Structure formats: structure tokens, C-alpha cells
Structure 1
Amino acid sequence: MAEIIPLRPAPKRRPEPRPEPLWREAAGSVLRRTRHERGDRLADTAQRSGVSPQYLSEIERGLKEPSSEMLAAVAGALDLTLVDLASAVAGDLQRQQRRGAYLLAA
């Protein structure tokens, strides 16, 4: 007679951590959050910064890699300095890292 051998349960696998976000994604997120907190419309912020609403939307969604001049213009339209923007991005990334939300690049 054949012997019945119980199967071992498959080892539980941890979900793969997400890769670290790109700078443009993190900066865009801060710019969008700041604009929303101020209650500004996309078109108003775009006009004050001298960019098209479409381009500003792409920056906020992390689809465009804006120049430092463009970042300064958009940040300035939101009453932020580049130091304010960089500090906010760094803070967001540090909070995500502490939560283990992404895998640090080697």
C-alpha cells in the first residue's frame, strides 16, 4: 500500500517592496499637495509660474523632468523656495523609507 505524505505549505513570501520613487515623482507630489493645500487651481498656478497647465500637470504627475529654472518658477508661484521644495521632498522620502514603502537602490 502507498504511503500518504502530507505536502508542506508553501513558504509565505513577502511582497516585493516598490522601487524608490524618482525625484521628479516626489517633487511633483509635493508641488501638487502644496497647490491643493493652498486651494489653487492648476490653471492659476500655471499662469503665475509661466508654464502651460498641461505642462504643470505633467510635472505634478512625475511625467516630466523639469529644469531647475522651471522648478523654481513653479515653486515660487506656490510661495515656496527651492530649499522648501527640496526639504519637503526629502521629508516625504524619509517617511516612506521608515514605513518600508520602497527598496533603496544599491
Structure 2
Amino acid sequence: MADPVEPTDVRRSRLLRTLIGGVLRRYRLQQGRTLADVARMARVSMQYLSELERGRKEASSEVLAAICEALRIDLAEVLTEVAATLIADRARRVPVVHLDAVPARARTHGAGNAYCLAA
């Protein structure tokens, strides 16, 4: 059963493997290179590289290093871009205040049962 707070597709988009794959694909496409070309240079199968780019597989550090070398990019560039995306995602999220963290007197306003954060 999917988490009611966050749909499955939203959680998937924030997976590390999905973010890394997206960055790798973008670099490859910017260079105008094919999956076959990069896969051959990195010594991985074309299908495996495609699955990595789509976030369906997780690469070992050795495979990731080989792909970065084949793309002539530094692994640090890839990780920096992924980190920037994660930081931006975090900044866009609205913080959640759990009611059990709010003092009981601040939970209700007047005689009603409506929850609000009273000063």
C-alpha cells in the first residue's frame, strides 16, 4: 500500500539512483553521444547503462567511475549536481509541525475542537 502522505512516484523521483541516472543521461545527451558509445567505453552493457540512466538500477562506485570516465566528467560534478537537487527539493518542502510536539494549551482555540497554533 502506498504511503498516503507521499505518492510512490514522488518518492521515486527523489531516489538517489534516479537523480544520478538523470544527471548521467543529461551529460550523455549534451555530448550528443549514444548509449552504445558510452556503454562500450565504460565496459558495461547498453541495457545496463539505460537502466542506470532511468533510475531502475543502482551503480557500484566502480561502475559509476567508469561511466564518468567514459563521459569525460568528474564524479564530483555528478554528485554536486545531485546534492544541489536534493537541497532544492528540501527547500521547497513545507515543514510539518506534529501536534504531539505542540503544547496542549496551544492546540485548541477557545472552547472549540479546531486545531490552530495560538501564540
What TM-score results when the alignment is normalised by the length of structure 1? 0.72
| 2:69 aligned counterpart, secondary structure | helix
Q: Provide the alpha-carbon RMSD of the alignment.
A: 2.3
Amino acid corresponding to residue 41 of structure 1 in structure 2: T
Q: Report the equivalent of 1:48.
A: 41
For CA contacts below 8 A with separation 6 or more, give which structure has more relative contact order. Answer: 1
Dislocated runs of 4+, deviation >6 Å: none
- Correspondences of 1:11-50 after superposition (within 5 Å): 18-19=10-11, 21-50=14-43
- Unmatched segments (≥5 aa) in structure 1: 1-15, 101-106
Inter-partner Cα distance in structure 2 for 1:72 and 1:28 = 13
Identify, as 1 or 2, the structure richer in helix.
Answer: 2
Q: Report the equivalent of 2:77.
A: 84
What TM-score results when the alignment is normalised by the length of structure 2? 0.65
Identity within the alignment, %: 45
Pairing 1:94–2:87 present: yes
Deviations 1:35-66 (A, max 9, x none): 01111111001011111100000000011111
Inter-partner Cα distance in structure 1 for 2:81 and 2:24 = 9
For this pair of structures, how many residues does the alignment match? 88
- Unmatched segments (≥5 aa) in structure 2: 94-119
Deviations 1:12-32 (A, max 9, x none): xxxx65336111110000000
